[in-house]
Amino acid sequence: MTRTRAAVLISGRGSNMAALVAAAAAADYPAEIVRVISDVPGAPGLDLARAAGIPAIALDRRGFGSKAAFEAALEASLVEAEAAVVCLAGFMQLLSAPLVERWRDRLINIHPSLLPSFRGLDTHRRALAAGVRIHGCTVHFVRAATDDGPIIIQAAVPVLAGDGEPGLAARVLAAEHRVYPQALAWVATGRARVVDERVVIDGAPERDGAPLVSPSA
């Protein structure tokens, strides 16, 4: 089996990256993680990746005079790694439209809300403030607008009475770690296809694309 070469971009903790690396440790997983890149030199995820034997490099955003120069270095690194798919996993830089377009339908992101609700930051605090009963996470193909693009998979997480931000965040994060490896597998095999800006999962029974409810609820 030829495995799809995937790079993961991070800025911090790297727990989603670690979930992808763990999934890719299985011989029958259709993608391999060939490089981890952080825009923050001290990101803890870099050490996690190295400990797992994955080449991990920092491209310090502050060391580049412009966004264009940073993105040129980023792109060069992705090309050097021969990455076919790029996974954003807590990567805190907004990528420019030309770069997003060059990687169209080969660039995916995980976001800690049920998009299109709660784009942007502080999703758990805002979900609690809004009083939603169901929260969750989304993996989607990236488009130029922030947290926008065709949805590959979502996981629904109930908001429980008495939930605070840390508890809700932890429950959503556990769901993120389940759905991101599934999404990458579908993208790596070409099963997740964008048709009219919606994702079709080839050969999947309808329920494969349906929301999951966290068993910890």
Residue numbers at the binding site for ligand GRF (CB under 6 A): 10, 12-17, 45, 89-90, 110-112, 173, 176
Contacts made by residues 19-23, CB under 8 angstroms, sequence distance 24+: 19/176, 19/177, 19/178, 19/180, 19/181, 20/87, 20/89, 20/180, 20/181, 20/184, 21/48, 21/49, 21/52, 21/54, 22/181, 23/181, 23/184, 23/185
Longest dimension (CA), the chain: 49
Q: How far is the CB of 85 from ligand GRF (least distance, A)?
A: 17
Which residue's C-beta sits nearest to ligand GRF? 90
**Residue 90 C-beta: closest distance to ligand GRF, Å:** 3
Closer Cβ to ligand GRF, 31 or 204, answer by number: 31
Distance CA 133, CA 7 (A): 35
- CA–CA separation, 35 and 7 (whole Å): 5
| Known active-site residue 177 | no
* Residue with smaller CB distance to ligand GRF, 9 or 188: 9
Task: Find the helix packing angle between 165-188 and 123-130, rounded to 10°.
Answer: 120
Beta strand extents in 65-196 (DSSP E only):
85-88, 107-111, 134-141, 151-158, 192-195
Shortest Cβ 124–ligand GRF spacing (Å)? 9
Helices 165-188 and 15-24, axial angle in degrees (round to 10): 40
Nearer to ligand GRF, 76 or 129 (CB): 129
Report the Cα 170 to chain-centroid distance in Å.
16
Active-site pick, 111, 124, 135, 177:
111
Residue 72 or 170 with smaller CB distance to ligand GRF: 170
Token look-up 């403030």 returns: 129
How near is the Cβ of 108 to ligand GRF at its closest, in Å? 12
Minimum distance of ligand GRF from residue 15's CB (angstroms): 3
- Nearer Cβ to ligand GRF, position 13 or 102? 13
Catalytically active residues are: 111
